[in-house]
Amino acid sequence: MPTQPLSQKEIEDRLRELPGWSLDADRLTRTYRLGDHFAATALVVHVAQIQQELNHHSDLTLGYDTVALAVNTHDAGDAVTEKDFALAERVERIAPGHGAN
């Protein structure tokens, strides 16, 4: 059974628990600003490991010292689900310094 989309209110309530994350075009998004390219690349590797563990993958964009994530659940019609928040929470736990958007 596919994961069920969250309501707008559920998404807004959950986003209060994840400073820096926002809803943009039906996707949870976050940009981390790190100190340099090595730190940004290391974060991408860690995020990829989390995604494999959860079998849930986001769009990742690597810049010189930034990493941007955008995630929604494809098997729920590209809606935001609990799977997306689970991924976001795991990334928050390992992101160095929890860099601001």
Domain 8-98 sits in CATH 3.40.30.10 = no
pTM strictly above 0.95: no
Which residues have a Cβ under 8 Å from the Cβ of 45 and sit 6 or more positions away?
none
Q: Where are the domains of the chain?
A: 8-98
Question: What letters, b where the CB count within 10 A reaches 16 and e where it falls short, cover 30-66?
Answer: bbbebeeeebbeebeebbeebbeeeebebeeeeeebe
Instruction: Convert the pLDDT of each residue in 67-88 to its tens digit.
Output: 999 999 999 999 999 999 999 9
State the average pLDDT over residues 7-26. Answer: 96
In the chain, which ranges are continuous DSSP H helix?
A: 8-15, 37-54, 82-94
